[in-house]
Structure 1
């Protein structure tokens, strides 16, 4: 048996490099994060051959003292933490002290730095088997320059795993994009083979931040995104979330940052999926750029060598905060918000065309509080005479009232109300009792329509003009033409009202004649017993009958004769992994969605002008009306500019 011996410094560093340095992109990530921690306001990245031949990073940060240069290339040498208390609340991007030593063990690395207090700059490089640092004087302004040449030259097995130059540069470019999105106040320049790829100037104003996001994610994302900024306790969530209609075939436009650090976390992904579940088309992925800020002591970043993963100390609170804020932000999107965003984009183009110096004025306009704009619009709408509803029947009058939405931070939202709380059955009966309005109602409607046009108060979705092939509604608003899929729109309206009705009457339970038992692990049984009260609020009565046995005595009445064992097991799995679960609510919503789909107006159903206009008004006051229950869009807008382009007008 071989004797135990210490590894050589180079071999130990190369083993560490196997965890930290996966490809050129990994090198760039570690070195750029060091520049940011050094307080740099400008970072230049110059690479050749996808980063395999050369990676050169220069910054204007605080630099490194001459006496610390050799130590900087040693393992576990860092200036960012000194004791255990620092590790428990890390505020810097790097802290392990392994990056430079690991990178220098698999490449030819030179480090040149200067500080404000030094009269000259110094350079250090490591040579030989024992990686002895060699110092030499150099010429360099305040800051640091690192050159990494011939990556993996001494580990050919690792080099064989590298992909083509284009692929490796693609990964490297993605790293720069993520870092640029997390630090708006820093100038970034990326050059590949002596050609400038990205020149990102520092962004301080709201307009400049929008431009950087548009540069990195594309203008289409910014045009189809909703701004969010919410705070609860010491947690703040802000950024941009893409509309459900701007979904992707893969998760390639998802950026999430925790205290400025790029992360990929399954808890975050689960919360986002839940928020989009009701509006996203099956198999599609949402797009977002989100920033979570919280106390550094509330997140553990020391769980992975590359620091891509984190662990939240109160994972349940973080999950619930993310889900609730994103869910509400998506619910509040209405046709009016689409038009506001469109107006802002058109104004920006006009201002740019007239005078580039007027961009600051537009930035001020763009900073208008969305809630004020919405409240003002809702306030105006509430003063108008109410219009007949397509759900109105003679025996049960329906009224619209501007009441605060409990989910929307004080925003005004029109709610469908009755004198008594409607039941699910009553809503279904109203759906089945869809009726054409008589001629007198149409006359009243046209009178109201003419009055609104005379006062210049055209609703966001405008007024119906015609019905196309019994499927689509053509409407005209201030911006041009609106095209509505009447079945999809009515399906969402019906679905949201059924959810409100179901929530109003509460979850009715029914006892099982023969209780059902579930065989699970002891750990799962402990979790179910701990969350017995939660199951009770969801309509389930579960009891523990043994170390690895649960029995179900009551279930929600709406589930009927369905097999609830897999549902209970899935809820327990979610509780163990994420600390929360909404699978039961999601399952109930699926049933309501099916009922709403079958109860909505079908194709080839001829509607009167009053019915079509009433449907448009209902869309404007319904949450998530931009998508049907299956995630398909319910309406689209064609502006006069877009129509003119189709017919080459103005050329």
Structure 2
């Protein structure tokens, strides 16, 4: 077949296929043009998810009639003053954006420069219908109707109006997040869906477009390295989502979806979040124009960095430093179903004394007998009730008076410490041998002792590694751990790295490992379970992660085996020591698996439970 020149209308449709994939693609181009025009307000109106209609109104610089004619020609732009295409500083420079959209829809373009007459131009699927003066305010108004109406092959691949609307809204959110100095609004089928005002701070704009909780549960990012700068806001590890849709990334003010940046975020939050959860972040990366190529994707949603390793290190270091400064902070939002479980108990009628008799005098004295110095009932009174049924018929009753609950307490030889100086309060007791109850100045704090101590052990191990290594404790008798041969191979290949953690391993036959020493920080831990879990961790992450990240996984696994277990009774001194260490330890607000280590019930909520508010 001989080569032939394609007709212009077909060329325009091919170009439109690169730029206009769906309504959200067209909307992105139009809003970017409005931003580049210097607008202080951008209003978006959608009909049928953008399939039936898209309208973008801005108060930017506007266009003269001759510029409007050029703007609807391919490869014409005002955003590229010279041939240095790699130094483009605007959101886009394509001249084919407007003509490509106009070739697959009916476009009405109205614009006015301040101090001049307004002008309108209507193009229907590539054909100019009208061109003449009109009355419009300063700025530009673009109306796109019936997208792909005459290209059924493209229209049938569009999703439902609801899905297309969601994609359009996401586009506006990302562009609005990058420019808090500009006001944005979105209407869909006559209903206001989004509105943000110009002049907001970056945290306010991010919170308004994502989750209001980001204000209280986010940490600011401000980090620089050489010519690179990273800013924005990052949610606490416990402030996470089940999908990664709430990760907003910007390079030189341009919204991007880059796998390198997403991987860096995942690495920064490693061991602070469950593997099936995702962080909420809005990161703004500023790099020299010649260090990034923004033209590797037709829609400019992906970029290519000249030094990707440096960029990845910048993001990981910046996020880690900000999260370190967050200290023991954790998300304080008890689940609604958990709060609903706190219900005032209905008063039950006192049991009738008919048919009941007092126990013996000795029993009564034992029941009310003197308590031990620790506040517990004396052994003489244990197991004896004050009320005894006279007849067996009363065995069916559930309202017998039982012995008083026996709480564990300790003698107080000094006044309890003041809570005002301790953010996590002072320990008042232990529940279910698992949760520490502490009283803070402004509420009640519950601490998961195992989760909290697990994080503390991990941070101690990290500090010990940074200081030169973790001390090891030799076993009196080396322990042999039987594993399959691939697991032994993985452990043997990492024996030198594991020795930095104080774990001394050596091969003991084809299917066994010999453990000679364990980290001293772990105390008496389950050696078999520790080595088995480490083999599994290396199998899952050995190839995908860097050495530093692998070491973090190893440290987290070791810390889990060496922490205080649920079910262990702690003294008040031990509880308070745990609380004080949490207050000065980074990331202590979440365990190594991303779950919160403590929650607070504000005093106002406590008063509501008792009807005081």
The answer to whether the 8 A contact 1:486-1:601 is kept is yes
Q: In the alignment, is residue 70 of structure 1 matched against residue 69 of structure 2?
A: yes
TM-score where L is the length of structure 1: 0.70
Residue by residue over 1:409-464, the C-alpha shift from the partner in whole angstroms, topping out at 9 and shown as x without a partner, is xxxxxxxxxxxxxxxxxxxxxxxxxxxxxx99x85xx46x54xx2xx742110100
Residue correspondences, number = 492
Matches within 5 A, 1:261-340: 261-335=254-328
The alignment partner of 1:292 has SS state of strand
Q: Which residue of 2 aligns with 1:182?
A: 178
Matches within 5 A, 1:139-218: 139-204=135-200, 206=201, 209-218=202-211
**Aligned equivalents of 1:555, 1:625: Cα separation in 2:** 26
How far apart are residue 630 of structure 1 and its match?
1.9
**Aligned equivalents of 1:481, 1:160: Cα separation in 2:** 57
Q: In the alignment, is residue 608 of structure 1 matched against residue 571 of structure 2?
A: yes
Instruction: Please state which structure has a larger fraction of its residues in helix.
Output: 1
Q: Which residue of 1 aligns with 2:119?
A: 122
The alignment partner of 2:437 has SS state of strand
**Aligned equivalents of 2:570, 2:169: Cα separation in 1:** 53
Q: In the alignment, is residue 617 of structure 1 matched against residue 613 of structure 2?
A: no
Q: In the alignment, is residue 584 of structure 1 matched against residue 584 of structure 2?
A: no
Q: Which residue of 2 aligns with 1:105?
A: 103
**Aligned equivalents of 1:127, 1:470: Cα separation in 2:** 74
**Aligned equivalents of 2:191, 2:133: Cα separation in 1:** 30
**Aligned equivalents of 1:639, 1:322: Cα separation in 2:** 35
**Aligned equivalents of 1:608, 1:570: Cα separation in 2:** 39
How far apart are residue 640 of structure 1 and its match?
1.1
**Aligned equivalents of 1:593, 1:193: Cα separation in 2:** 51
Pair 243,159 (structure 1): closer, same or farther in 2 beyond 3 Å = same
The answer to whether the 8 A contact 1:458-1:477 is kept is no
How far apart are residue 250 of structure 1 and its match?
0.9
How far apart are residue 496 of structure 1 and its match?
1.3
Moved more, 638-647 or 462-471: 638-647
The answer to whether the 8 A contact 2:237-2:269 is kept is yes
**Aligned equivalents of 1:84, 1:25: Cα separation in 2:** 29
How far apart are residue 336 of structure 1 and its match?
6.1
How far apart are residue 615 of structure 1 and its match?
0.6
How far apart are residue 644 of structure 1 and its match?
2.9
Q: Which residue of 2 aligns with 1:258?
A: 251
**Aligned equivalents of 2:612, 2:22: Cα separation in 1:** 52
The answer to whether the 8 A contact 1:559-1:588 is kept is no
TM-score where L is the length of structure 2: 0.74
Q: In the alignment, is residue 495 of structure 1 matched against residue 445 of structure 2?
A: no
Pair 569,587 (structure 1): closer, same or farther in 2 beyond 3 Å = closer
The answer to whether the 8 A contact 2:238-2:330 is kept is no
Pair 259,559 (structure 1): closer, same or farther in 2 beyond 3 Å = farther
**Aligned equivalents of 1:646, 1:30: Cα separation in 2:** 53
Q: Which residue of 1 aligns with 2:5?
A: 6
2:242 aligned residue (249, 257, 261) = 249
**Aligned equivalents of 1:470, 1:254: Cα separation in 2:** 38
The answer to whether the 8 A contact 2:427-2:437 is kept is yes
Q: Which residue of 1 aligns with 2:93?
A: 95
The answer to whether the 8 A contact 1:227-1:241 is kept is yes
Matches within 5 A, 1:73-84: 73-84=72-83
**Aligned equivalents of 1:26, 1:559: Cα separation in 2:** 57
**Aligned equivalents of 1:554, 1:618: Cα separation in 2:** 31
Matches within 5 A, 1:324-403: 324-335=317-328
How far apart are residue 569 of structure 1 and its match?
13
Residue by residue over 1:336-379, the C-alpha shift from the partner in whole angstroms, topping out at 9 and shown as x without a partner, is 6879x99xxxxxxxxxxxxxxxxxxxxxxxxxxxxxxxxxxxxx
The answer to whether the 8 A contact 2:235-2:281 is kept is yes
Pair 598,336 (structure 1): closer, same or farther in 2 beyond 3 Å = closer
The alignment partner of 2:596 has SS state of coil
The answer to whether the 8 A contact 1:45-1:57 is kept is yes
The answer to whether the 8 A contact 1:191-1:198 is kept is yes
**Aligned equivalents of 1:491, 1:559: Cα separation in 2:** 22
Moved more, 161-170 or 315-324: 161-170
The alignment partner of 2:279 has SS state of coil
Pair 647,221 (structure 1): closer, same or farther in 2 beyond 3 Å = farther
**Aligned equivalents of 2:275, 2:125: Cα separation in 1:** 57
Unaligned runs of 5+ residues in structure 1 are 343-438, 509-538, 542-551, 575-581
**Aligned equivalents of 1:69, 1:137: Cα separation in 2:** 12
RMSD: 3.2
How far apart are residue 643 of structure 1 and its match?
2.2
Residue by residue over 1:538-587, the C-alpha shift from the partner in whole angstroms, topping out at 9 and shown as x without a partner, is x999xxxxxxxxxx9976645845999x979988x77xxxxxxx532333
Residue by residue over 1:168-198, the C-alpha shift from the partner in whole angstroms, topping out at 9 and shown as x without a partner, is 1111111111111111111112111222222
Q: Which residue of 1 aligns with 2:557?
A: 594
Residue by residue over 1:586-617, the C-alpha shift from the partner in whole angstroms, topping out at 9 and shown as x without a partner, is 33333333332222222222111111101100
How far apart are residue 507 of structure 1 and its match?
9.2
How far apart are residue 104 of structure 1 and its match?
0.6
Pair 133,271 (structure 1): closer, same or farther in 2 beyond 3 Å = same
Q: In the alignment, is residue 53 of structure 1 matched against residue 49 of structure 2?
A: no
How far apart are residue 636 of structure 1 and its match?
0.8
Residue by residue over 1:94-119, the C-alpha shift from the partner in whole angstroms, topping out at 9 and shown as x without a partner, is 1122211110110011211111253x
**Aligned equivalents of 2:584, 2:331: Cα separation in 1:** 14
Q: Which residue of 2 aligns with 1:373?
A: none
**Aligned equivalents of 1:336, 1:192: Cα separation in 2:** 39
Unaligned runs of 5+ residues in structure 2 are 335-409, 472-490, 508-512, 514-533
Residue by residue over 1:299-321, the C-alpha shift from the partner in whole angstroms, topping out at 9 and shown as x without a partner, is 21111110101111221211111
How far apart are residue 297 of structure 1 and its match?
2.5
Pair 222,172 (structure 1): closer, same or farther in 2 beyond 3 Å = same
Pair 469,121 (structure 1): closer, same or farther in 2 beyond 3 Å = same
Moved more, 464-473 or 21-30: 21-30
How far apart are residue 233 of structure 1 and its match?
2.9
The answer to whether the 8 A contact 1:203-1:212 is kept is no
Q: Which residue of 1 aligns with 2:359?
A: none
**Aligned equivalents of 1:605, 1:559: Cα separation in 2:** 28
The alignment partner of 1:62 has SS state of coil
Q: Which residue of 2 aligns with 1:545?
A: none
The answer to whether the 8 A contact 1:127-1:134 is kept is no
Residue by residue over 1:45-101, the C-alpha shift from the partner in whole angstroms, topping out at 9 and shown as x without a partner, is 11211111111111111111211211111111111114332x121110011222111
**Aligned equivalents of 1:84, 1:641: Cα separation in 2:** 64
